[in-house]
Amino acid sequence: MAGFHHQVVIIGSGPGGEGAAMTLAKAGRQVLVVERYVEVGGGCTHWGTIPSKALRHAMQEYARWRHNPLVRDLHRGFTPPFGDLIRTATTVIERQVDLRQGFYERNRVEVLHGEARFVEPQTIEVRKPDGATEQISADHFLLATGSRPYRPPDVDFSDAHIFDADTILHMAESPRSLLVYGAGVVGCEYASMFRNLDIKVTLINTRDRLLSFLDDEIGDALAYHLRDLGVLIRHGEEYSQVETRSDGTVAMHLKSGKVVTGDALLWANGRTGNSRDLGLEVLGIAADERGNLKVNDNYQTEQPHIYAVGDLIGFPAMASAAYDQGRLAAQHIATGVCDRRLTPFMPMGIYTSPEVSYVGRTEAELTRHQVPYEVGHAFFKSLAHAQITGHTVGMLKLLFHRETLALLGIHCFGHGAAELVHIGQAIMAQPGEGNTVKYFADTTFNYPTMAEAYRVAAINGLNRLR
């Protein structure tokens, strides 16, 4: 019950907070969750992962319908209002909130809505929506407050034509042209999403190539297909000034002397951990320049009774990882011991069009560490299922050791890549001789399926050894 001493207080109800709360509740601990928003789910549910992926799906469905020869002539020239596309995302959010609220109720976890701030090492003050405050003490605290888009001080985000990754979901109508500053994961995802609506997109990359952490072949394929969609990519550029002109367009002045313009600007250059208003100075805990907190292997901060998980602690900053981090931290809180760690085979999904996903090491990493490896490819255009569905753009790429045949990396590009990669992830995680490319060569897959790409790629790679 709020207002009394609790065993554990969790600040934030996103994936990290939820994972911790459910684990602690099932371990018999008394848990209170403090959530500043009016509903549970955190940024992931309300303005991040869920709404952006729901919006992406709606845009892709429109693009698929527009290019389908069976129906494209029926409504030629029609573009759905942006508000209609957003409403499809809203319905998903509502269902997710109902689902997650049910988790808390069934597990008897109390949720208190308000903004939390430490006033003492063992005490927080919660300011409720009606302005009233309440002090709450606990044995342990877990911080799962997430992150927000980074906003440089010289860019006016109150301008109706300038957005970040959170506010873009409240855009009133589709622009004719869009500037995207920052070609990281978020920037690339939104660039391809808006291009599917036939919006002119300029993607400004502060680096010399897209997503340099990707395998080079996959990164090059993504850059090619974004350009093929019609996205104009400008590499190695940095802004010097942003202005809104009298005609309502946004002009971005680049340090190179170029000026690019659009009807709207999406700023997608970095994120900041939500640590600023937590009162951490009372605890002697300092955040880094990006607002992130440092934790040990058990997710404890400099104050051992205070834990932190999710985007607040930086890399990998994924909803999937945050949930597992919350569970691991909760186990340590409940028992004082946690002998489990995040999987070393962490998959990454990038929801561009086409999609990208990978797990394991890249060719460049293997070459740098002088690991003898071979490559197996399966191009989607050769798969019967891809030909049937029309999703022929893409490939599956397997990297494996030339001598032991152990899987070293799995890289996928194309429709459904983020789902397809999990088959390879499961085999990579097998101990001993269970983790070899021969599993795929010797296993029968349903036909026709996209999963059959693993058999094709495995045989292709083994043939290279011969």
Same domain, 11 and 139: yes
Cβ neighbours of residue 367 closer than 8 Å, sequence gap 6 or more: none
Same domain, 261 and 278: no
Token duo for residue 374 = 């071979």
155 found inside a domain:
no
The answer to whether the beta carbons of residues 330 and 19 sit under 8 Å apart is yes
- Lowest-confidence pick of 54-63, 186-195, 293-302, 356-365: 54-63
Q: Could you give the count of Cα atoms lying within 13 Å of 140 in the half-sphere of its Cβ?
A: 24
Which residues on neighbouring strands pair with residue 204, listed in sequence order? 181, 234
Strands 356-360 and 407-414: antiparallel
CA distance 254 to 267: 14
CA distance 357 to 86: 25
414 found inside a domain:
yes
The answer to whether the beta carbons of residues 393 and 356 sit under 8 Å apart is no
CATH code for the domain in which residue 142 is found: 3.50.50.60
The answer to whether the beta carbons of residues 2 and 134 sit under 8 Å apart is yes
Run of H or E including 364: helix 363-368
Residue 404 has pLDDT above 60, yes or no: yes
Q: pLDDT band for 59, please (50, 70, 90 cuts).
A: confident
Residue 67 has pLDDT above 80, yes or no: no
Nearest to 314 by CA among 344, 289, 339, 351: 289
Count of Cβ atoms closer than 10 Å to residue 462 Cβ: 18
Run of H or E including 177: strand 177-181
- Lowest-confidence pick of 58-72, 293-307, 437-451: 58-72
Strands 133-143 and 6-11: parallel
pLDDT > 70: what percent of the chain? 97
CA distance 142 to 11: 6
Same domain, 324 and 212: no
Average pLDDT over residues 167-181: 92
Domain end position, chosen among 311, 335, 359: 335
- pLDDT attached to residue 80: 74
Same domain, 28 and 136: yes
Same domain, 67 and 134: yes
User: How many domains does the structure of the chain reveal?
Assistant: 3
At 7 the three-state DSSP class reads strand
* CA end-to-end span of the chain: 68
Domain end position, chosen among 335, 359, 379: 335
Same domain, 135 and 13: yes
Average pLDDT over residues 87-111: 94
The answer to whether the beta carbons of residues 243 and 253 sit under 8 Å apart is yes
Q: What is the mean pLDDT of the chain?
A: 94
Same domain, 423 and 458: yes
Same domain, 14 and 137: yes
Nearest to 461 by CA among 417, 395, 394: 395
Q: Which residue has the tokens 């003490």?
A: 137
Count of Cβ atoms closer than 10 Å to residue 43 Cβ: 24
116 found inside a domain:
yes
pLDDT > 90: what percent of the chain? 86
CA distance 195 to 380: 23
Residue 111 has pLDDT above 80, yes or no: yes
Q: pLDDT band for 87, please (50, 70, 90 cuts).
A: confident
Give ∠ CA 214-274-169 in degrees, rounded to 5: 70
- pLDDT attached to residue 1: 45
- pLDDT attached to residue 4: 79
Same domain, 29 and 127: yes
Domain end position, chosen among 335, 361, 381: 335
What's the predicted TM-score (pTM) here? 0.92
The predicted-structure confidence for 211-266, as pLDDT tens digits, reads as follows: 999 999 999 999 999 999 999 999 999 999 999 999 989 999 999 999 999 999 99
Token duo for residue 24 = 């602690």
Domain that holds residue 242: 162-269
Residue 297 has pLDDT above 90, yes or no: yes
1 found inside a domain:
no
The predicted-structure confidence for 268-292, as pLDDT tens digits, reads as follows: 999 999 999 999 999 999 999 999 9
Same domain, 70 and 119: yes
- pLDDT attached to residue 107: 96
